[in-house]
Amino acid sequence: MKLYIVPTPIGNLEDITLRAINVLKSVDVVLAEDTRTSGVLLKHLGINKPMHSYHIHNEHHTATRITERILKGETMALVSDAGTPAVSDPGFLLVRECIKEGIVVECLPGPTAFVPALVNSGLPSDRFTFEGFLPHKKGRQTRLQNLVHEERTMIFYESPHRLLKALQQFSEYFGADRQICVSRELSKIYEENVRGTVEEVIAVFSQKPVKGEIVITVAGKVNERKSKEERED
C-alpha cells in the first residue's frame, strides 16, 4: 500500500538507477504519462507490468480512483515520459490525494532536466528559481513582468516551436544583453548548450530549425548597489 514516484531518463536510457529498476519490478501497477513511451523503457529493462494512463487530461478524475486502489492494498509507481513526475509533469494531484488519505509516498532521486541545464549554463547555481513552462497565452506577460527584478538565476522549460518567441520576450523584459543558456537534447548524442547574451542566442537559433526538449537558463538581474559594495570590499 504505497505510491512510488520514479524518475526516468531524460534521454539516455543508461541514466536509469538500479533502485528505480528494482521498484518498477516490484510494484503491482505502473502509472504512465504515455503508456507507449514508458512501454519502450520497460521493455528495454525487461520488465512486464500492467500499465495505466495517468496524464494531464485525466488526472483530476483518476487520482481518487487510483488512491482507492492503493488503499485496498496495491502498490503503484508513477512515471512520466522523461524526468521526475510532478515537476512540470502530472503527479502533484495524485501525491496530494495520497498524502490526504495517509498513503505513504516515496519519491526516488533521479533524472530531471533542469539540474544539468543549470550546471552546464555556467550561471550562478547557489540560488535559483525554477519557473517551468510559461503560460502560453493568459498570464504569460504578467509572469514575465513579475520576474523583471528577479536576482536569482531563472530556469524555464520551452517547446522547440516556441523557443524564438520566448527568447524575444526575454530580450524585451530582461534586456538583450542578459546572459542565458539554451540547453537542448540533454544527455542525448546531439546535446547542445548555446551560451551568450539573449541577442546572440536569438541569432543562433534564427538560422536553424530547433528540435528536442528545451531548457532555458537565464541570469538574474544584477543588483547594482550590491555589486558596487562588493567591488569596494
Residue 225: which pLDDT band, with cuts at 50, 70 and 90?
low
Q: Name 170's Cβ contacts closer than 8 Å, sequence gap at least 6.
A: 144, 178, 180, 198, 216, 218
- For every residue of 6-66, DSSP letters joined together read --B-SS-GGG--HHHHHHHHH-SEEEESSHHHHHHHHHHHT----EEE--TTTHHHHHHHH
Closest CA to 82 of 46, 112, 58, 56: 112
In this prediction, residue 223 carries a pLDDT of 83
Q: Which domains does the chain have, with CATH numbers?
A: 2-107 (3.40.1010.10), 114-226 (3.30.950.10)
Cβ atoms of 29 and 22 closer than 8 Å: no
Decide if 88 contacts 132 (C-beta within 8 A).
Answer: yes
As a whole number, the mean pLDDT across the chain is: 94
Does residue 203 register a pLDDT over 70? yes
Q: Sheet harboring 2-5: ordered strands across?
A: 51-53, 29-32, 75-79, 2-5, 104-107
Q: What is the DSSP string of 188-208?
A: STT-EEEEEEHHHHHHHHTSS
pLDDT value of position 56? 83
Sheet holding 179-184, edge to edge: 128-133, 153-158, 214-218, 179-184, 192-197
Which residues neighbour 24 within 8 Å (Cβ) at sequence distance 6 or greater? 6, 30, 42, 45, 47, 49, 77, 79
d(CA 159, CA 4): 28
pLDDT digits over 49-71, tens only? 999 999 888 888 899 999 999 99
The percentage of residues in the chain with a pLDDT greater than 70, rounded to a whole number, is: 96
What pLDDT, on the 0 to 100 scale, is given for residue 226?
64
Render pLDDT for 85-102 as a digit per residue (tens, 0 to 9): 999 988 999 999 999 999
Q: What is the pTM of this model?
A: 0.91
pLDDT score of 224: 72
Cell of residue 202, nine digits:
536569438
